[in-house]
Amino acid sequence: MRRSERGFTLVEIMIVVAIIALLAAIAIPNVLRGRTSANESAAIGNTRALLSGLEMFRSVNNAYPGPDSAAFTAAMYTNATPDFGPPNFLASLAGVQGYNYTFTSTQAGGGACTTAAFDCALYTLSTVPANWGNTGVRSFVTDETGVIRHCTGTAAGQTADRTGVGQDNTIDQGAPNCD
C-alpha cells in the first residue's frame, strides 16, 4: 500500500511568493508616501510653533531675535514677561522628523542686525527636507508675515509650484517666491 505524501509543490510555493512580492510592491510605496506626508505635516506644525515663539519674542522685545543664539536665549528668557517657560526654543532642530530648520534675521533696510541692539525687523525661517525625496518632497519658508509657503522640485530652493499653506494645510495659490 502506497501512502500519499502531503505537502506543497515547488510551483505552488513559487506562486505564493510571487503573490506576496506583488502585494509588497504595491503596498511599500504607499507606506513610504504616507511617512513623507506625515513628515511634511509635522514640518508645517513645527514651523507654526516656531512662528508663535518668534512673535512672542517680538511682542516683548519690539524686534525679532538676532543671529547670536546666546543673546537670543538670554533676551528671551531672562526676566521675561510673560514667562516663556524653559529655554528650549533654540534646541537643535536639525533633522527633526526629516527636516532641517534655518532662521535668518535682518534689519528693515536689509543690513545685518545685532541682537544687542534689538534692531531685527525682518526674518526668514526655512524648513528643508534632510533627505530630499525620502523624508519630504516640499520645502517650506516663512517670514514676518506669518505665511508659510512651500516649494516643490528636485532640490531645496526650487521655485516651481510656489504656493502658501493655509491654517488647515490647504494650499493658497499665488504666494510670493519661496526661495
Range of the domain at 113: 10-173
- Of the chain, the end-to-end C-alpha distance in Å amounts to 82
Q: Is residue 125 part of a domain?
A: yes
Domains: count for the chain: 1
The model scores a pTM over 0.95: no
The closest alpha carbon to 142, from 95, 94, 101, 92, belongs to 101
Q: Tell me the per-residue pLDDT of 136-156, one tens digit each, with 9 for 90 and over.
A: 888 888 888 888 888 775 444
DSSP 15-65: HHHHHHHHHHHHHHHHHHHHHHHHHHHHHHHHHHHHHHHHHHHHHHHSSB-
Side chain identity at 20, as an amino acid letter? I
Side chain identity at 153, as an amino acid letter? G
Q: Is residue 1 part of a domain?
A: no
Q: Tell me the per-residue pLDDT of 107-138, one tens digit each, with 9 for 90 and over.
A: 877 777 765 556 778 888 888 888 888 888 88
Amino acid 14: pLDDT: 96
Q: Is residue 158 part of a domain?
A: yes
Q: Tell me the per-residue pLDDT of 41-69, one tens digit each, with 9 for 90 and over.
A: 988 988 898 888 888 888 887 888 776 65
Q: Is residue 179 part of a domain?
A: no
Q: Is residue 46 part of a domain?
A: yes
Q: Is residue 4 part of a domain?
A: no
Task: Give the whole-angstrom CA distance, residue 20 versus residue 156.
Answer: 37
